[in-house]
Amino acid sequence: MLLAVTDLHKSFPGADAPVRVLRGVSLQLEAGQTMALTGESGSGKSTLLHLIGGLDRPDAGQIVLDGLHVETLSDRGRAALRRDRVGVVFQQFNLIPSHSVGANIAFQARLAGRHDADWCAALARRLGLEAHLAAYPEQLSGGQQQRVAIARTLAARPALVLADEPTGNLDETTAEAVLDAMLSLVTETGAALLVVTHSAQVAGRMQRRAVLRGGVIA
């Protein structure tokens, strides 16, 4: 089992009392599996993704990723987790504006000490970015920027890819192409994929689906 989340709880400060977002979430994901995480806006999907990726800490519960208890890691340990084992694709891309497309793609892999120029070139080719490697993010369309973000994540060959509404800002045709490329490359690398999405179309492409409702997996 690559990922095991058990009885996870998370609250945030509210005007009068803490707001309980997660109330005992449990889920499991095996290596190589794909899963869609769906639910209404505000149901805690992105919160859960951030906790799994070590971007925040839970109030209670366990997150075991590739044998590591994520909830017990120090800030440095969680940063190392994101560098070495987890790749995150954000809805807003989070590309480095001062870096070229090629440098953005290689960035995460270089941090992890796993830069492979041939693999980066293959990712650029597969994602239709080969002609844009010298360009900068501001010169690209939204769909192209999302492809760069996916390539950057996969360049480091993470064990787990977390994607938060990866096609949410894209038109239908571009979204389908980006999803096709991401699923193909995730399968090729053997990574597990957990996608937060509102799209029934995206959810239908995943092997499994979990619905977050009332702070728990329904």
Read off the tokens for 158.
Answer: 């993470």
Average pLDDT, rounded, for the chain: 93
Distance in angstroms (rounded) separating the CA atoms of residues 107 and 110: 5
Distance in angstroms (rounded) separating the CA atoms of residues 66 and 170: 32
At residue 63, what is the residue type?
I
List, in sequence order, the alpha helices (H) in 128-192: 142-155, 172-189
pLDDT at position 55 over 80 = yes
Reported as type and span, the H/E element at residue 193 is: strand 192-196
DSSP-derived 3-state class of residue 38: strand
Read off the tokens for 208.
Answer: 């499994």
Predicted local distance difference test score (pLDDT) of residue 71: 95
Predicted local distance difference test score (pLDDT) of residue 181: 86
User: Is the separation of the CB atoms in 179 and 205 below 8 Å?
Assistant: yes
The pLDDT tens digits for 117-174 are 999 999 999 899 999 999 999 999 988 998 999 999 999 999 999 999 988 877 888 8
Question: Which domains, and CATH codes, for the chain?
Answer: 31-57+83-217 (3.40.50.300)
Query: Which of 11-15, 41-45, 61-65 has the highest mean predicted lDDT (pLDDT)?
Result: 61-65
User: Is the separation of the CB atoms in 60 and 218 below 8 Å?
Assistant: no
Question: What number of other Cβ atoms are within 10 A of residue 98's Cβ?
Answer: 9
User: Is the separation of the CB atoms in 128 and 84 below 8 Å?
Assistant: no
The pLDDT tens digits for 176-209 are 888 888 899 889 889 999 999 999 989 999 999 9
Closest CA to 181 of 140, 134, 148: 148
Distance in angstroms (rounded) separating the CA atoms of residues 84 and 70: 13
Closest CA to 207 of 73, 1, 30, 25: 30
167 pairs with which residues across the strands? none
User: Is the separation of the CB atoms in 2 and 159 below 8 Å?
Assistant: yes
Read off the tokens for 92.
Answer: 């807003």
Question: What number of other Cβ atoms are within 10 A of residue 137's Cβ?
Answer: 20
125 Cβ contact list (under 8 Å, min separation 6): none
Predicted local distance difference test score (pLDDT) of residue 102: 98
